[in-house]
Structure 1
Amino acid sequence: MTSTLPAATAPQVPAQRTPAPETAPPERPAAPGGLRAARPDLLLCGALLVVILVVQGWNIADYPALSDDEGTYLAQAWAVQQGSGLAHYTYWYDHPPLGWIQLALLTWIPSVLSPGSMTVGTMRTVMLLVSAVSAILLYLLARRLSLPRWAAALAMALFGLSPLSVVLQREIFLDNLAVLWTLLAFTLAASPSRHLWHHFAAGVAAAVGVLTKETMLVVLPALLLTMWRHSHRDTRKFALTGAVTACTLIGFLYPLFALLKGELVPGSGHVSLWDGITYQMTRPGSGFILDPGSGSYGVLHSWLYYDRVLPLGGLLGAVLLLVTWRWSVTARALAGPALTIAILAALALRPDGYLPAMYVIQALPFLALVLAGGAASVAHGVLRRRRTEREARYVTAGRHVVAVALALAAAAYTVPSWYDGARTAVTTDANAPYRAAAGWLASEVEEPRDTRVLVDDALWLDLVHAGYRPGLGVIWFYKADLDPAVTRTMPRGWRDLDYVVASPTVRRDAADLPHVRAAIDHSTPVAVFGTGPDRIEIRQIQPASGGVR
């Protein structure tokens, strides 16, 4: 560390200003010297945040269509609030429970004020808080990684306004919560003050991210790289050791929990953490992502349907930064985020890997960051060449010309497709059939507590609030075939049920569920909402009497 003596202590020595090296980035983050220095960043970040929240919040309950995972996650959060195991999803070691606990905290106040609002569509609004914090952290991280103000704003806009982000960040996914904690870990790791407690806190935040969604474990090497680059040489060993220790100790709370419950390893009459890990590692893959006949290929094209700029541009930006890191200050500063993209891309390219639709959520902030960093690196390279060819008085004008040219070129390609995606997100009502089906079952069935109905995840909480008994009255349709506690109450199979709500998910998966398929085959539609493959049929089972109540 260096210090500067006051001029009065050495009047005999002329004050000299050390010239900045040519490789320094054009702007540095504002020093933590007070609110005045940070005011431009606060104004710019605040303005962008308002735009992001308006775009993401408008029509949030109606688009995109409700998903199975959203219903599962929210039902688990509801069970945490109730302090019981009434959620439709059978207890086992799937995802760590910290994600459900966070969702329970986020939805607690709205559910207390209006218990009937604890449904997927309504509770999507709490995800706006997660999006807001994540966007702010991304801007701060970009500034701490030495990106100029305009590039940090670009990263925040890419992350918050891409149609792909608008769709996925609206949904109640554990991945969105895990990304928030991971961004916090990176932001702490890149702290310019280099306090040891910042690095310890980064380890804690990383562990929380992993315990929120275990797949964030693969990002930890990139986090360590960022911490190594931003720690002081004299205290680097302490910083890394403290961060790793904090992350490890907190991360081991989950297996310790399983050990204390006697559920760490397989045994008779109980689930186990080992079985959960084995299932995740051996579950059937969705095929090679570049094979046109694979499920992974379909997932990739569903991402590119909403946006090609962020996934492809971010991937190219990561390649550019990794290739030029030895010559570019910006590339070296963004080595951690670029490595994150490389790791996530390598895992997605596994020939027999499983690629869920929400996988890209983990990459979105880093794609935005490296894409903005690549733009900053290109702009800085152009400006450096101009310094050697022209007089210094043209540098400022050149900076403006390059910035405007890049902005216009990017806008000409991006704005039309983003406009179409945003217009769809803020005007389309994809969930009207779900709302209509929930309303019909709440108003047209005379004795909901004595009625047994098979539903998918998205409708389960709606019917619980409508008076149906959780577990044995309103039944997640998978349990009719796969949960012994439920099948024991159905000695006559489909005859012990009253209704089946044949949503697209139920119709698709009924082929592998004999009881559900039989219930659909022995029922007639009494109400149909929507048309085509997205329709929802409420089917009454014949005969409807004689079941176990």
Structure 2
Amino acid sequence: MVETLVRTHEVPEAPDSTQTAARGTWSVAGNTLAWGTAAIVALVHVAGAAHNPTPMLDEGTYAAEAWALLHLGRLAPYTYWYDHPPLAWILLAGMWWLLAHVLPQGLDAVAQLRFAMWIWSLVALGALVGAAKRLRWHPGAAAIAVILWGLSPLAITLERLVELDNVAMALVLVAIWSLSDPRRRLHAVVIAGIAFGAAILSVETALLWTPTVLWLLARRYRDERRSVAMWTFLLVTGSIGSLYLLYATLKGALLPGPGHVSLLGSAAWQVFERAGSGFILRHGTAAWGLLQGWLHLDPVLVLLVPAACIGVIARRTRPFGIAALVYTAMAFRPGYLPSTYPVEAFPAVALVGGGLFDSLLSQSVSWRRLARTALGVLVTTLTLLLGFAWSARDAETLLAPRDQAQLAAEAWLRAHGDRSAPILVADTMWVDVVDMGWHPYQAVVWYWKITTDPEVERRYLRCPRFRRHPGYFTRASSATRCSKTTGAR
């Protein structure tokens, strides 16, 4: 059975009848259309990315964790409590180190890492166009998918952020690209397993793409090859995902217990104890507030997420329609809803939109003239609607700086700050303040850690030598003595 699967590299997959019309259209003009659209989206994503949108706390958290890997050899500057798998910021730390000598001078830490995130955008774009080509979609369908993925003002805003979801979704698209291999070779399954396992190790919510990936795998690998391909994929993905469990076990932090954090304890908190965001359609809930923010940036793309569920009807787009259905259903649950939640649904919208567009272009000859006429009217209408809806917001995203307040605060600290006294800062400023000369443990603290982290609370609030200092939290000398008595790292 394994031998049969390996030998298939000589036998291309028999095309579906609906794909015949689209076959062979990837000429020079077709490649130029698809890859040229991807290049435009890539340029839009990088233009102004350092200063727009406003830095978010999560960005500062991941920047600090990447900094801790490079400078302290630890997964986080504070106790790593298994809130998320660490692979994404491990990869970001490596990219940060590689880009250090080519990044523009004078950028803060979050802005520097946004250039690393741009590289992940390039990976996502390449995988998206590559998957469309392997699936024998029309180049115009690939261009539509790219536009839906990355040209919306909401997509630009969220996909620029230093967020784990953006790394994970790029890896999910790589897995889809690999599984779309027309020759259905074994190494394509292995690559897909590695990519999907890495996506799960980047953010646990990538697991929501599991039905889509398994459906695509089952559709592409038929007959006796299906079981071998399926077990190979599950073995590779499971081996990579289990590294998280192995790490926690070796650290003695798999099971909850007194005096230490744990993987299962953190998972239990996420599932059962974390405050929910409320029903997304109920006025006044946190989820409702997030929805209003997304709609303010772009109502079109937000509404396209549930609309993409229609993709389950067509065979060509069914696996991607399933992903849209999963993410739509999860948004309506009463649990916690992160602010970057739509990022993980954008690839589903793009793939459903591109697939449906390709279906119209691949109709039989008798329907082709009517389909093309209807398609022309539809595309023109959508282009006008999206042009009006997106152009002004996109221009603002490219040109309007949103980090001026933080830059002004950092400039004041650089000129007037007392490096001998601890200071409370937002996560987004932590790395920059450390680079200014404040000690990473004894002098600069994420402000929310004071009341949520027992280690930080022992170091400062319960210190017997605690004393206030005008403009700051406490003196560095007092914090140093306290850290020695409490064993704080």
What CA distance in whole angstroms lies between the structure 1 residues aligned with 2:246 and 2:469?
A: 43
Q: 1:460 aligns with which of 415, 430, 445?
A: 430
Q: CA RMSD in A?
A: 2.7
CA distance in 1, matches of 2:129, 2:476: 60
Q: Which residue number in structure 1 is paired with residue 336 of structure 2?
A: 354
**Structure 1 partner of 2:134:** 144
**1:57-86: CA deviation from partner (whole Å, max 9, x where unpaired):** 121121111000000001101111114349
Structure 1 partner of 2:366: 387
Matches within 5 A, 1:255-274: 255-274=245-264
Q: Which residue of 2 aligns with 1:72?
A: 61
Gaps of 5+ in 2: 9-14, 481-489
Q: Percent identity?
A: 32
Q: Are the structure 2 counterparts of residues 183 and 545 from structure 1 closer, same or farther at C-alpha, using a change threshold of 3 Å?
A: closer
Distance 1:313 1:92 in 2: 36
CA distance in 1: counterparts of 2:283 and 2:340, whole angstroms: 20
Q: 2:182 aligns with which of 178, 192, 195?
A: 192
Summarize deviations over 1:408-443 as a string: whole Å, max 9, x none. Answer: 110121111101210110122211010000110011
Quick check: 1:210–1:217 contact (8 Å CA) kept in 2? yes
1:58-457 correspondence runs (5 A)? 58-85=47-74, 87-111=76-100, 117=107, 119-282=109-272, 283-319=274-310, 321-322=311-312, 324=313, 331-350=314-333, 352-378=334-360, 384=364, 387=366, 395=368, 398=370, 400-445=372-417, 447-448=418-419, 450-457=420-427
Match of 2:23 among 24, 28, 32: 28
| More relative contact order, 1 or 2 (CA 8 Å, 6+ apart) | 2
Distance 1:102 1:21 in 2: 39
Distance in 2 between the 1:246 and 1:47 partners?
Answer: 34
Name whichever of 106-115 and 193-202 sits farther off.
106-115
Question: CA offsets, 1:443-473, max 9 Å, x none?
Answer: 112x41x121101101111101111111221
Matched, 1:483 2:466: no
CA contact (8 A) 1:111 1:117 kept: no
Partner of 2:486 in structure 1?
A: none
Q: Show structure 1 runs of 5+ residues with no match.
A: 4-19, 31-36, 325-330, 389-394, 500-539
The size of the alignment, in residue pairs, is 465
Question: Are residues 334 and 497 of structure 1, via their aligned partners in 2, closer, same or farther at CA, if it must alter by over 3 Å?
Answer: farther
Please tell me the residue identity of whatever aligns with 2:366: R
In 2, Cα distance between equivalents of 1:88 and 1:238: 43
CA contact (8 A) 1:265 1:274 kept: yes
- Contact 2:172 / 2:196 at 8 angstroms: preserved in 1? yes
State the shift of 1:484 in Å.
3.6
Q: TM-score, normalised by structure 2?
A: 0.88
Matched-pair contact (CA < 8 Å) for 1:495–1:546: no
Confirm or deny: 8 A CA contact 2:443 2:476 kept in the other structure.
no
Q: Distance in 1 between matches of 2:232 and 2:140?
A: 34
In structure 1, the partner of 2:487 is none
Secondary structure of the corresponding residue to residue 424 of structure 2: strand
SS at match of 2:132: helix
Deviations 1:364-406 (A, max 9, x none): 11111212323343565xx55x716xxxxxx5x6565344322
Partner Cα distance (2:301, 2:416) in 1: 46
Question: For the Cα contact (< 8 Å) 2:360–2:375, is it kept in 1?
Answer: no
| Superimposed CA distance per residue, residues 29-67 of structure 1 (whole angstroms, 9 cap, x where no aligned partner) | 67xxxxxx6644442233123211221112112111100
CA 1:544–1:260 in structure 2 vs 1: closer, same or farther (change >3 Å)?
closer
Choose 1 or 2 for highest CA Rg. Answer: 1
**Distance 1:469-1:38 versus aligned 2 partners, 3 A rule:** farther
Amino acid aligned to 2:339 = A
